[in-house]
Chain A
């Protein structure tokens, strides 16, 4: 049923939209209607809400599950020297606003495919990380689950680290214990790879694991995957993606991993981010005047980087493979605080464009593939730990 009467009256439109959006996004309930009206000032189409063309639901679903849609998002577009919100993102939000008010799109349908970020005041697509294949791999059910305390973030516009850590306390503690048990069974030295999206909480969980290992008297070190990158000029000239094997001094990497797990001290290349060059030439020889990074032997060696076990050739060398996940809406709220408020790192529209664009793409190229090869997955938002049947059996025996 389409109700065009509402759509032709801006005030009524905003009022009805507010009622509906509040149900999708509880944080909006903290606003006074006139404050909601302020937010809408940026969205009211010059030709009125009647002018917004609605696509049908099937069309939209197809689009938002297509790589091409995300690839086409322009993150850097500027008008009068200022970054602008990508036209496709803006169109999607306007369409959802109009479709919600006209009832062409039901709340449940919108909620299933999108989430509304209150601070950015726009819709983003939900990313599915736990595909059926991933769930099947973990035997259909989580290994452990706890109360979903991140629910309280639904009312917030931004999430600071203290609140985040407090919400994840139970699942994090259980996870740390799982890793400790696995290490006991698998023996040291062991390589530990933790993959996770931006702002999922990787750095912090690595710090806590490190502390736990040290307290248990274990020696800990880490290997930065990025140090194995080849010169950027070379990669760019040859069209090499930074995620692939070709982007790395791959032989040096496999040798280093084999040596350190054998308890040996290793010397690895050093990648300089400022000049975007490696200490090693393309044949894996140390350039004159360059220095290597020395890594002392240790019991537990963290593999640091976004894709520690994406490469088939090295995944078997990594003793424990973990994906540490937090849902997109919560990570976005973390980034509002951390990257926007505290670090002041990005311009508003660049940030909105980039976050919208990257989540789907990164899920497909990095996180889903790693979920399909990992031993453990932590889903902080659902407060659940997933383990492969093998890992699960080991943990129960321990």
Chain B
């Protein structure tokens, strides 16, 4: 079995440079948790094509159980465990090539698991942007490859060039188009949305622009009425939202609903009427209006109203390391096993639910990991 560990260790080093920092016995300690009781020989291997097929089906991710407990501790989901056992065994036996594994998976050291790579740049997305990036910089996030967790300072430093280009592009575009302008920025968890929004905000403030933000969450209807459905037409005060955007675009002041997170209720009923004793939120007219929150700007009636639609993207492996640091080490927010199960489960589903759609209709795409700025041919024309 020692032999299995050391052979696997050698196969895996090219897949994650960070493994060079581990001693074999540390690798073995981590691997032990995943070792089948009947030994590695007992692992049945699926054909690579079969695995690829599973990886691209929603059903595979949907059946992942994030918080199942065994002996009072959250346990690694069986599907994830089985997949990883197959990959380990298949690497050692030579059934799966290192290249094939690398193409479809990345290995996270903290979790000590392979995760599937989410494909964000579909052919449809690439052609939406005219097939080439607008600006390409040196991919400095590669320097973070050996790290097991990533703090904000390192992350920001790796993104300096692309972030700066992005901010300049937005400023130029706003100048060219005039104000008021509505701007929205979507992106997966821990991609760096909050931080880049804050920088855009400060940039416009320094230019003397009047800025306001519209919290998408304020348009939610009561939780009891929403159930588990994602935010969208049926779960929000959609008409009010649309009207508010139209008014703000005209430079008018608006009153919007107020969502109370503690009671999970909206200030407005389903007929968009203010409930007794509730107050709405007053939003003053402004030059630049940021729409915050994970918001479905792929809906055409809305998309047309938003001047600048941005998707801010960071690859899954980097975001995972950001979350290890931010959400687990600093905030101590989740049980680590629940966290791992959930991260594995949701990246594909979220991409499928919203990012794929948003990327195919947004105006600007920032890919921090690729250090590339993508804009639509139309915007590229405007920027000239």
Residues of A at the B interface (CB closer than 8 Å) are 30-32, 34-35, 38-39, 41-42, 81-82, 119, 121, 157, 160-163, 165, 337-338, 341-344, 347-348
Segment with Cβ contacts to A, from B27-35, B230-238, B273-281: B27-35
Residues of B within 8 A of A (CB-CB), count? 27
* A163, B25: Cα distance in complex, Å: 14
> In the complex the two chains form, is A161's CB within 8 Å of B329's CB?
no
Residues of B at the A interface (CB closer than 8 Å) are 21-23, 25-27, 29-30, 32-33, 72-73, 109-110, 112, 148, 151-153, 326, 329-332, 335-337
Instruction: Output the least CB separation between B365 and chain A (Å).
Output: 26
Which B residues are CB-close (under 8 A) to A160?
Answer: 21-23, 26
Q: Which of B21, B332, B335 has the most CB of A within 10 A?
A: B332
Q: How many A-B residue pairs have CB under 8 A?
A: 66
> In the complex the two chains form, is A342's CB within 8 Å of B23's CB?
no
* A64, B172: Cα distance in complex, Å: 62
Closest 9 CB pairs of A and B: A342-B30, A161-B23, A38-B330, A342-B29, A343-B29, A32-B152, A38-B331, A39-B330, A342-B26
* A41, B326: Cα distance in complex, Å: 12
Which B residues are CB-close (under 8 A) to A34?
Answer: 152
Q: Which of A34, A162, A338, A342 has the most CB of B within 10 A?
A: A342
Which B residues are CB-close (under 8 A) to A119?
Answer: 329
- Point out the residue from B27, B72, B112, B332 that lies within 8 Å of A81, measured CB to CB: B72
> In the complex the two chains form, is B32's CB within 8 Å of A343's CB?
yes
Which A residues are CB-close (under 8 A) to B72?
Answer: 81
* A348, B328: Cα distance in complex, Å: 10
Instruction: Output the least CB separation between A5 and chain B (Å).
Output: 28
Q: Output the nearest chain A residue to B194 by Cβ-Cβ distance.
A: A34
> In the complex the two chains form, is B151's CB within 8 Å of A31's CB?
yes
> In the complex the two chains form, is A42's CB within 8 Å of B21's CB?
no
> In the complex the two chains form, is A162's CB within 8 Å of B21's CB?
yes
> In the complex the two chains form, is B332's CB within 8 Å of A35's CB?
no
- Point out the residue from B25, B30, B153 that lies within 8 Å of A30, measured CB to CB: B153
* A39, B152: Cα distance in complex, Å: 14
Q: List 26 A-B contacts (CB under 8 A).
A: A30-B153, A31-B330, A32-B153, A34-B152, A35-B151, A35-B326, A35-B330, A38-B331, A39-B330, A39-B331, A82-B335, A119-B329, A121-B332, A157-B329, A160-B22, A162-B21, A163-B21, A338-B26, A341-B109, A341-B110, A342-B26, A342-B30, A342-B112, A343-B29, A343-B33, A347-B73
Which B residues are CB-close (under 8 A) to A165?
Answer: 23
Which B residues are CB-close (under 8 A) to A344?
Answer: 30, 33, 112, 336-337
Instruction: Output the least CB separation between B89 and chain A (Å).
Output: 20
- Asked if A42 meets B326 with Cβ closer than 8 Å, knowing A32-B153, A343-B30, A343-B33, the reply is no
Sample of 7 more A-B contacts, CB < 8 Å, known A157-B329, A160-B22, A347-B335: A32-B153, A39-B330, A42-B332, A161-B22, A161-B25, A343-B30, A344-B30
Instruction: Output the least CB separation between A157 and chain B (Å).
Output: 7
> In the complex the two chains form, is A341's CB within 8 Å of B148's CB?
yes
- Point out the residue from A42, A338, A348 that lies within 8 Å of B29, measured CB to CB: A338
Q: Which of B29, B32, B330 has the most CB of A within 10 A?
A: B330
* A165, B26: Cα distance in complex, Å: 13
Which A residues are CB-close (under 8 A) to B22?
Answer: 160-162, 342
Which B residues are CB-close (under 8 A) to A342?
Answer: 22, 26-27, 29-30, 112
Instruction: Output the least CB separation between A122 and chain B (Å).
Output: 11
Q: Output the nearest chain A residue to B112 by Cβ-Cβ distance.
A: A342
Which A residues are CB-close (under 8 A) to B337?
Answer: 344
Q: Output the nearest chain A residue to B23 by Cβ-Cβ distance.
A: A161
Which A residues are CB-close (under 8 A) to B30?
Answer: 341-344
Instruction: Output the least CB separation between B381 and chain A (Å).
Output: 38
* A39, B325: Cα distance in complex, Å: 11
* A92, B278: Cα distance in complex, Å: 43
Q: Which of B30, B32, B329, B331 has the most CB of A within 10 A?
A: B329
Instruction: Output the least CB separation between B288 and chain A (Å).
Output: 23
Instruction: Output the least CB separation between B194 and chain A (Å).
Output: 9
Which B residues are CB-close (under 8 A) to A348?
Answer: 332, 336
Which A residues are CB-close (under 8 A) to B110?
Answer: 341
- Point out the residue from B23, B73, B332 that lies within 8 Å of A162, measured CB to CB: B23
Which B residues are CB-close (under 8 A) to A82?
Answer: 335
Which A residues are CB-close (under 8 A) to B21?
Answer: 160, 162-163
Instruction: Output the least CB separation between B269 and chain A (Å).
Output: 33
Which B residues are CB-close (under 8 A) to A32?
Answer: 151-153
Instruction: Output the least CB separation between B336 and chain A (Å).
Output: 7
* A165, B23: Cα distance in complex, Å: 10
Q: Output the nearest chain B residue to A343 by Cβ-Cβ distance.
A: B29
> In the complex the two chains form, is B331's CB within 8 Å of A161's CB?
no
* A347, B73: Cα distance in complex, Å: 8
* A82, B32: Cα distance in complex, Å: 25
Instruction: Output the least CB separation between A76 and chain B (Å).
Output: 11
Instruction: Output the least CB separation between A340 and chain B (Å).
Output: 8
Q: Output the nearest chain A residue to B69 by Cβ-Cβ distance.
A: A81
* A31, B153: Cα distance in complex, Å: 7
Which A residues are CB-close (under 8 A) to B152?
Answer: 32, 34-35
* A82, B69: Cα distance in complex, Å: 12
* A223, B73: Cα distance in complex, Å: 35
* A291, B329: Cα distance in complex, Å: 47
> In the complex the two chains form, is A42's CB within 8 Å of B331's CB?
yes
